[in-house]
A and B are shown apart, each in its own frame.
Chain A
Amino acid sequence: DAGITQSPRHKVTETGTPVTLRCHQTENHRYMYWYRQDPGHGLRLIHYSYGVKDTDKGEVSDGYSVSRSKTEDFLLTLESATSSQTSVYFCAISAATSGGGETQYFGPGTRLLVL
C-alpha cells in the first residue's frame, strides 16, 4: 500500500461547511496527488505537490485548495463544500516500480457525502 493513509475514511457534511482531508505517507516520497473518483469519469486530478510548499493545479481544481507543510502530509481543503463535491477522494504518491519505472500508488480513499 506504499505506506499511505487517508483520514477520515468517511465523512458526511453539510453544504457550505469547510472540510479538510488528510493524506499521510511514511516513505518520504516527493510527489503527492489528490484525485476524485466519480462514476463515468474515472479518476481526475485535483491538485498535486512536488515538494514541501510546492503545489500545482490539476484538471478539476476549482473549489479545492491544498497545503503541504511537511513531506509526509498533503492536505486537501474544500473551503465551502457543495453537493457536487460528493465523491470518493484518493491520495497517491509517485514511487519506483519493480520494473524500473515510476508510477503512482494510491491510498485507501475517503468517501465524502455533502448534504
Chain B
Amino acid sequence: QQQVKQSPQSLIVQKGGISIINCAYENTAFDYFPWYQQFPGKGPALLIAIRPDVSEKKEGRFTISFNKSAKQFSLHIMDSQPGDSATYFCAARVNEKLTFGTGTRLTIIP
C-alpha cells in the first residue's frame, strides 16, 4: 500500500523557472514531512522539512507548502538552476519510520 503519492515522475524546467513537485498522503498519523535530494551515485540528502502545524517553510530558494486538510504538500524550487537537476523524494514520518514517495527526476535546461 503506497501511503505517499508523488507527482510528477519527471519534470523539465527552464533555468530560472519554478519547479513544483507534489505529494499526497493518507495516514493522518504522519508527524513530519521531509524532502530529500539525490544525485546519481549518492545517497539521498535532507533538503528541507516541515511539521504539520506549519503551512509553509522557506529555506533559500526551496519552499514547502503544506495543506493539512487536503493531506497534500509540495516542494517549490524558485529560480531553478542546472545544479538543481537531481531526483527529489518526499517522505512522511510516523513512529520513527519514513515512508517515501516514488521520486521525481528534475532536469533544469538552459
- Asked if B17 is at the interface (CB within 8 A of a chain A CB), the reply is no
Please provide the chain B residues from 5 to 60 with a CB less than 8 Å away from any CB of chain A in the complex.
6, 32, 34, 36, 41-46, 49, 51
B45 A106 Cβ-Cβ under 8 A: yes
Interface residue tally for chain B (C-beta within 8 Å): 22
Closest 8 CB pairs of A and B: A106-B43, A42-B100, A42-B102, A43-B100, A103-B34, A106-B44, A42-B103, A108-B43
Using a CB–CB cutoff of 8 Å, the interface residues on chain A facing chain B are 1, 31, 33, 40-45, 48, 50, 58, 90, 94, 97, 99, 101-109
Q: Which of B6, B34, B41, B44: most chain A Cβ within 10 A?
A: B44
Contact B89 A97 (CB under 8 A): no
With A99-B49, A101-B51, A103-B49: A43-B97 Cβ-Cβ less than 8 Å: no
